[in-house]
């Protein structure tokens, strides 16, 4: 597969803007970047080309994507500055420890699905194709969408459809799933889309396929996406060098809310309201570099329809993180790590 083939499979979202945000932190000897969601390395290749002195660690839980990305780096002549790692991004701290890296200068996250995962119909991510209900980003794990639908009770299914899909008819859909599976298990995407189509009233359907929220919720549950994101951001902050940047692309409101809330902690003074003077150690430690969320313009969306829902946010670490915040972040990381290992 050649470079043009990779671009045909997956067109990176807001590529030029992401390079503008990431590259300034990498223009010094020994600079280290981490792409937590490597995919087919579209963004990663651009970062390395824009910052010839930098090296990049690329993390991905999808072994197939990692293999293709590594091959692409070789074709681009960038393999000497690239380290591939097969892991979920919530192992961020462990990945750096194994690599002997104590601090990094830029971290990039492109959340959501890659085009490779969407277009491989046998993975079952898309409601547009009939396929087994798998939805695993890492095919080595045991939990699948079909297993969730077969084993979760009405309350649990309702919770994930409501929390992760913001589905108004979460409980009726959950009840119908449990009722039907008593006779026949739900194993394919067409079975699930048909069920949702029957349950959701015509007058209350969202634009597009009525099953899209249920599919989103299942994908998030199967892959633990929001928990992993919330557990990873503190790890990243504690390992950013001063002047380092964190840049994140989100594709639905729950991801963006998690990212925005985390970044906001470092963008405001850590003092009670009304205090006449802010002590130096309570000053903000992040600087916003995107002025809120950057969205794709009409031209980008026309060129790459999957960019329509993107929200791009970035911050720069402007001073060392205060010890009390480091301890909070370490505590959060430890709790997440223990949760993963239970």
Annotated binding site for S-adenosyl-L-methionine: 41-43, 60, 89, 110, 117
Contact (CB, 8 A) for 21 and 51: no
Q: Is the CA virtual torsion 111, 112, 117, 119 positive or negative?
A: negative
* DSSP letter (8 states) at residue 312: E
DSSP 283: S
Report the DSSP pairing between strands 240-250 and 286-288. Answer: unpaired
Structural contact between residues 99 and 125, judged by C-beta atoms closer than 8 angstroms: no
The 8 Å CB, 24+ separation contacts for 224-227 are 225/111, 225/255, 226/164, 226/254, 226/255, 226/258, 227/90, 227/336, 227/339
**Cα–Cα–Cα angle for 304, 246, 262, nearest 5°?**
100
Q: How far, CA to CA in Å, does 254 sit from each of 69, 131, 306?
A: 28, 26, 17
Angle between helices 63-75 and 42-50 in degrees, nearest 10: 30
Q: Is 190 exposed, middle or buried (0-12, 13-18, 19+ CB in 10 A)?
A: middle
Q: Give the Cα separation of 63 and 329 in Å (integer).
A: 29
Binding residues: 41-43, 60, 89, 110, 117
8 Å CB contact between 110 and 41: no
Distance, CA of 55 to CA of 130 (rounded, Å): 41
Euclidean distance between CA atoms 305 and 25, whole angstroms: 29
Distances in Å between the Cα of 206 and the Cα atoms of 172, 192, 211 are 16, 17, 9
Report which of 37, 76, 34, 79 is spatially closest to residue 57, judged by C-alpha positions. 34
Which residue from 332, 313, 325, 321 is spatially nearest to 240, judged by alpha carbons? 321
């Amino acid at each position: 597969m050649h470079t043009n083939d990779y671009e045909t499979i997956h067109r990176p979202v807001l590529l030029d803007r992401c390079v503008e945000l990431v590259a300034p932190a990498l223009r010094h000897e020994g600079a280290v970047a981490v792409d937590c969601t490597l995919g087919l390395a579209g963004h990663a290749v651009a970062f390395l080309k824009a910052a010839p002195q930098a090296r990049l660690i690329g993390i991905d839980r999808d072994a197939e994507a990692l293999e293709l990305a590594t091959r692409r780096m070789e074709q681009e002549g960038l393999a000497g500055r690239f380290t591939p790692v097969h892991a979920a991004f919530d192992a961020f701290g462990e990945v750096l420890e194994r690599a002997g890296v104590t601090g990094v200068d830029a971290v990039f996250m492109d959340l959501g699905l890659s085009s490779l995962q969407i277009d491989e119909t046998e993975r079952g991510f898309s409601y547009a194709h009939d396929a087994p209900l798998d939805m695993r980003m890492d095919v080595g794990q045991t939990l699948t969408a079909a297993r969730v639908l077969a084993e979760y009770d009405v309350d649990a299914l309702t919770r994930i459809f409501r929390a992760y899909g913001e589905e108004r008819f979460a409980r009726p859909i959950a009840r119908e799933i449990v009722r039907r599976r008593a006779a026949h298990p739900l194993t394919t995407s067409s079975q699930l889309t048909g069920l949702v189509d029957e349950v959701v009233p015509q007058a209350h359907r969202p634009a597009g396929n009525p099953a899209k929220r249920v599919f989103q919720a299942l994908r998030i549950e199967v892959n633990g996406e929001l928990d992993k994101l919330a557990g990873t951001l503190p790890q990243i902050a504690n390992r950013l060098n001063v002047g380092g940047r964190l840049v994140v692309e989100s594709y639905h409101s729950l991801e963006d809310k998690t990212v925005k809330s985390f970044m906001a902690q470092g963008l405001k003074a850590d003092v009670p309201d009304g205090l006449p003077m802010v002590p130096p150690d309570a000053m903000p430690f992040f600087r916003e570099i995107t002025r809120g969320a950057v969205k794709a313009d009409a031209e980008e969306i026309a060129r790459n329809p999957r960019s329509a829902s993107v929200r791009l946010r970035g911050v720069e670490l402007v001073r060392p993180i205060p010890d009390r915040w480091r301890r909070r972040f370490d505590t959060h990381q430890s709790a997440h790590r223990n949760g993963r290992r239970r």
